[in-house]
Amino acid sequence: MSRGREGSSTRSADRRSRARFRACHSRGRASAPLFGGGDAASQPACPPGVSPPEEIERPTYETGLRRLFPAVRDAIARVLPLDRLRWVAFSHFEQDECGALNELLAAAPRAQAACSTVGAMTSVGDLAVRPPRPLADGERIRLGLHEVTWWDAPHVPHGWDCGFLSESTTRTLFCGDLFTQPGASQPPITESDILGPSEAMRAAMDYYAHAPSTRATIEKLASTEPRTLACMHGAAWRGDAAKLLRELAEVL
CA 65-74-53 angle, 5° bins: 110
Give yes or no for residue 38 having a pLDDT over 70: no
For residue range 77-117, what is the model confidence (pLDDT) as tens digits? 998 999 999 999 999 999 999 999 999 999 999 999 999 99
For residue range 194-223, what is the model confidence (pLDDT) as tens digits? 999 999 999 999 999 999 999 999 999 999
Q: Which CATH number, 3.30.70.20, 1.10.3720.10, 3.60.15.10, 3.40.50.2000, labels domain 137-252?
A: 3.60.15.10
What pTM, to 2 d.p., does this model score? 0.78
Give yes or no for residue 27 having a pLDDT over 70: no
Residues 157, 205: contact at Cβ < 8 Å? no
Report domain extents, the chain: 55-135, 137-252
**CA 49 → CA 15, 21, 36, 129, 219, distances in Å?**
14, 10, 19, 36, 44
Give yes or no for residue 10 having a pLDDT over 70: no
Give yes or no for residue 44 having a pLDDT over 90: no
- pLDDT for the residue 120: 98
Give yes or no for residue 4 having a pLDDT over 60: no
Residues 42, 188: contact at Cβ < 8 Å? no
- pLDDT for the residue 9: 44
Of 42-51, 73-82, 179-188, the range with the lowest mean pLDDT is 42-51
